[in-house]
Amino acid sequence: MGRIVAISAAAILLCSGCSAQEEPKAADVKAEMLQHVQPAAETFWNAVQFISDGNGSREIVPQTAAEWQEVIEGARALKKYGATLQGPEYAAGRGADWKDYAKGLVDVAGQAEAAAQSHDPDKVLEVGGTLYNVCSACHEVYMPNPVSVAPGVPTDEKTGTQP
Ligand code: HEC
């Protein structure tokens, strides 16, 4: 039964892609996310961490100009991917809000770049939170089974049994 539900859901998804224009393939978005967007976001998210455990509290902060540069590059890459996602190969067949979400990524990536350029750990943490919200906002609408993309956060259970 679960299997039948899953197949019919997939059929509906495929058919929502039936139009005269060539549709973006969901697999392409996923590949772009997994190969490019997620790694760049993790570079930014992992750069500054406050850790509190049995050994007390400590913070991870970029130590050298080269380490900060990596964070800056991660933010710049996200800016580029936000622009890429606005292209027709990704935006075709989506609602108008798709481009808004992608623009949101460009905007927050600009803030991320500025935070890294100022070598300000608090700012990097703060923008990192905003970045996460921007990712999630698009996923809420466009990801078939939204999963959490933040590092260290367990992924949601996939139910796949909606009526
Ligand atoms: C403009 C919309 C949009 C934005 C912005 C966006 N994503 Fe995505 N993302 C998607 C869509 C759509 C999928 C689902 C692709 C699929 O499964 O076909 C996805 C899937 C993913 C996946 C794969 C999840 C899985 O395992 O199935 C990861 C990881 C991911 N996104 C990370 C991110 C991160 C990190 C950000 C922010 C830095 C982000 N995304 C911003 C649209 C977006």
CATH number at residue 9: 1.20.120
Q: How many domains does the chain have?
A: 1
Domain that holds residue 51: 2-142
- Among the residue ranges 15-19, 39-43, 106-110, the one predicted with the least confidence is 15-19
| Residue having the nearest C-alpha atom to atom 15 of ligand 1 | 30
Q: Which of 120, 99, 43 is nearest to 76 (CA)?
A: 43
- 157 part of a folded domain: no
User: What span, in angstroms and rounded, lies between the C-alpha atoms of 105 and 12?
Assistant: 29
- 9 part of a folded domain: yes
pTM, whole model, 2 decimals?
Answer: 0.80
pLDDT (mean) for 50-58 = 92
pLDDT (mean) for 62-85 = 98
pLDDT exceeds 80 at position 162 = no
**Ligand 1, CB cutoff 6 Å, lining residues:** 26, 29-30, 33-34, 37-38, 41, 78, 85, 98, 101-102, 105, 131, 134-135, 138-139, 142-144, 147, 149
Residue 22 confidence (pLDDT): 52
Within 38-114, strands assigned E span: 49-53, 56-60
Please answer whether residues 49 and 151 qualify as being in contact, where contact means their C-beta atoms are separated by less than 8 angstroms.
Answer: no
- 149 part of a folded domain: no
What's the gap in Å between 58 CA and the centre of ligand 1?
A: 31
- 150 part of a folded domain: no
What's the gap in Å between 17 CA and the centre of ligand 1?
A: 18
| Residue having the nearest C-alpha atom to atom 21 of ligand 1 | 33
> Which ligand 1 atom is nearest residue 132's CA?
37
Q: Which among 14, 23, 25, 33 is the best mutation to test ligand 1's pocket, defined by most ligand atoms within 8 Å of the CB?
A: 33
- 158 part of a folded domain: no
Both structure tokens of 24:
């973006």
- 113 part of a folded domain: yes
| Residue having the nearest C-alpha atom to atom 18 of ligand 1 | 26
- 153 part of a folded domain: no
The confidence band for 9, taking pLDDT boundaries of 50, 70 and 90, is very low
- 159 part of a folded domain: no
